[in-house]
Amino acid sequence: MLLEISHLTVRYEKAVLINDLTLSVDTGELVSLVGPNGAGKSTTLRAISGLVAWEREIKRRSTSGDIFLDGTVTFDGERIEAIPAHEIVRRGLVLCPERRRPFREMTVLENLLAGAYLQKDKRKSRETLEKVYALFPVLKERTRQISGTLSGGEQQMLAIGRALMSEPQLLCIDEPSTGLAPIMRQEVFAKIEEIKRLGITILLVEQEVSTVFKLAARNYVLSSGKLIAHGRGEELLKDETLRKTYLGM
Amino acid sequence: MNILITGLITGSMLALLAIGFSLIFGVARIVNIAHTAFYMIAAYTIYFLSAKLGVSPFWAMLIAVAVVVALGLLAYRFLIDPIREHEAAVLIATIALAMIMQEAMLLIFTGDYLTVSALIQGFFVVGGVKVFHQQVLTFVVVLIILAALWLLLMKTNLGLAIRSTAEDREVANLMGMNESRLAMITMAISVALAGLTGAVIVPLAVVSPFMWMEPLIIMMAVVVLGGLGSIKGSFVAAYILGFTEALVVFLIPKGAFLKGSVALSIMILVLLLRPEGLFGVSFEEER
């Protein structure tokens, strides 16, 4: 297994955001994490990408409440749950965050280069850049454009492209389709499939369950920080209560 | 003509100070009230080295910048960094730091007004106004420093990381940028800019333990006008304020007494009419 989360619990003060979560992602898979708002999907991604560990460091220093993290996260055979975010990227795990969050004042190219920050070999980052441009031709057309002026869909492509610039083994994407027009959503999903075909493992958090279930081989359903169900899309959809209560379909 | 020269020089000095202040605020959310106190320290170091020890002014300036950077890093490491996540505490700590530096200078050098001789003597006359060579030199050096800073920020990997962290430190973290290391580097750059400002301005100014207060207030006005954390904003606003100040001093009778109030009035107006400043970005709330 490339990624194994075992009995992960995350608590902010008294609020339990993730409760005893166990899941795994194998190399080459596209796995989804679905569930209602506040189910702990984003927190799961933040925990494995090191943002929770980083935030805990900050809170400890400011004594403004504590974050509690228990359980283990193993990536590529190494325990990573206590490692801060900036150290995790170089191990090949990257998060494309919620709400895209491009560096809005910088150009498209600068955003992409920021993604390749750790790659000191300029020739290699040049090569990766060409791959990203091949995947997202629209970014190549807009190299010099300030990213804050891109459309929502383009910003999403940029955010994914920026994450890919770190040459990840595992790409975590948090709600890529939120706030996009239907056509743009389809395009984003098509790109995600294409990335999977490039051999990159993907852990996808999404609201749009119907599309995701077609895309992902396996799906984890979360609610209130707990794992509710796990399986192939069509199996999960057969369960009436699950469909109505947790998937909103 | 006088207005133009004074405006340019004041503006350039303010730009250097305000950009340094903006940088460390942008990257680490540190409001460093002691910023201009570092500028005072640089001025005193140059005075001490050149007037007392006879070191050549050029070397005195370089040593002064080095001293200020060392002091800045010490202050960062032992005073600011441990309480960095408490914004109010940082504010109070840096006010205290400025006071300590002021009192230390008062003890060592007394409160007497001191001066440092110009690097190059002489002047030329343009449009009936004496322009001292030192003024030209100061202006040119400031432009060179600004250009170097621009290159550092826009063309290097370090600059990219600094700008990324300033914009969104969480995402910068995800890209592998070590935020606390960058904060330290930025602190060094920031106080180096304060030191350099002190160094270039010292032949034109009077050195005293209280010389940090007035520029501090005007610098704050610049930062507010330009938009907190915006480097471009600081740059433009610095010249706007520099020229406004020069205009007031030269065109209004007894205008010199109004200098401080002009900056403050602009600050209040900006806060009332456009709190985000000229180029300000409304910061996204961090979780």
A3-246 placed in CATH 3.20.20.70: no
Residues of chain A neighbouring B164 (CB-CB closer than 8 A):
103, 106, 114, 117
Q: What is the pLDDT of residues A164-221, one digit of tens each?
A: 999 999 999 999 999 999 999 999 999 999 999 999 999 999 988 999 999 999 999 9
From chain B, pick out residues whose CB is under 8 angstroms from the CB of A94. Answer: 174
Determine, for residues B174 and A97 on separate chains, whether the beta-carbon distance falls below 8 Å. yes
Asked if B175 lies within 8 A of A64 by C-beta distance, the reply is: no
- In this prediction, residues A17-44 reach a mean pLDDT of 96
Partners of B93 in the beta sheet? none
Chain A CB contacts of B167 below 8 Å: 103-106
d(CA B270, CA B266): 6
How high is the pLDDT of residue B282?
Answer: 52
The two structure tokens encoding residue A234: 């069509």
Taking CA atoms, A64 is separated from A13, A18, B93, B285, in Å, by 10, 20, 19, 16
Q: Does B178 touch chain A (CB under 8 A)?
A: yes
| Cβ-proximal residues to B249 (8 Å cutoff; 6+ apart), any chain | B6, B255, B256, B258, B259
Closest approach of B141 to chain A, Cα-based (Å): 28
Distance from CA of A85 to the nearest CA of B (A): 6
Q: Is the ipTM of this complex over 0.85?
A: yes
Q: Is the model's pLDDT at B66 over the cut of 60?
A: yes
Task: Using the predicted structure, report yes or no on whether residue B283 has a pLDDT greater than 60.
Answer: no
State the residue for tokens 């740059």.
Answer: B235
pLDDT at B286 over 50: no
In 3-state terms chain A splits into helix, strand, coil percentages (rounded to 5) of: 45, 25, 30
Question: In this predicted model, what pLDDT tens digit does every residue of A46-57 receive, in sequence order?
Answer: 999 999 999 998
| Beta carbons of B167 and A106 less than 8 Å apart | yes
Nearest one of A194, A197, A193, A176 to A185, comparing CA atoms: A176
Facing A118 at nearest CB: one of B164, B176, B179: B176
A149-166: per-residue pLDDT in tens? Answer: 999 999 999 999 999 999
Q: Is B173 on the interface with A (CB under 8 A)?
A: yes
Whether residue B4 lies within 8 A of chain A, CB to CB, comes out as: no
The answer to whether B130 contacts chain A (CB < 8 Å) is no
- Interval B152-198: pLDDT, tens: 999 999 999 999 999 999 999 999 999 999 999 999 999 999 999 99
At A86-143, the pLDDT tens digits run: 999 999 999 999 999 999 989 999 999 999 999 999 999 999 999 999 999 999 999 9
In this prediction, residue B284 carries a pLDDT of: 42
The most confident of A58-72, B72-86, B243-257, by mean pLDDT: B72-86
Q: Can you tell me the mean pLDDT for B230-243?
A: 88
Tell me the domain boundaries of chain A: 3-246
Distance CA A73, CA A23 (A): 10
Q: Name the closest residue on chain A to residue B89, using Cα atoms.
A: A62
What stretches of A76-217 adopt beta strand conformation (E)? Answer: 78-79, 93-96, 170-174, 201-205
CA B179 to CA B161: how far, in whole Å?
A: 9
Average pLDDT rounded to a whole number, residues A51-72: 88
> Does B171 sit within 8 Å of A117, measured CB to CB?
no
Residue predicted with more confidence, B22 or B119: B22
Give the rounded percent of residues in chain B with a pLDDT score beyond 90. Answer: 57
What is the pairing mode between strands A170-174 and A30-34? unpaired
Within 8 A of B162 by CB-CB distance, chain A residues are none
- To the nearest whole number, what is the mean pLDDT of chain B? 90
| Mean pLDDT, residues B208-223 taken together | 92
Closest CA to A3 of A165, A168, A157: A168
Q: Report the range out of A222-231, B79-88, B243-252, B269-278 with the highest average pLDDT.
A: A222-231
Q: What percent of chain A has pLDDT over 70?
A: 99
Q: Which of A51, A105, A115 sits opposite B167 (nearest CB)?
A: A105
The verdict on B157 touching A (C-beta cutoff 8 Å) is yes
Nearest to B175 among A61, A105, A115 (CB): A115
Shortest distance between the Cα of B12 and any Cα of chain A, in A, equals 24
DSSP summary character for residue A49: T
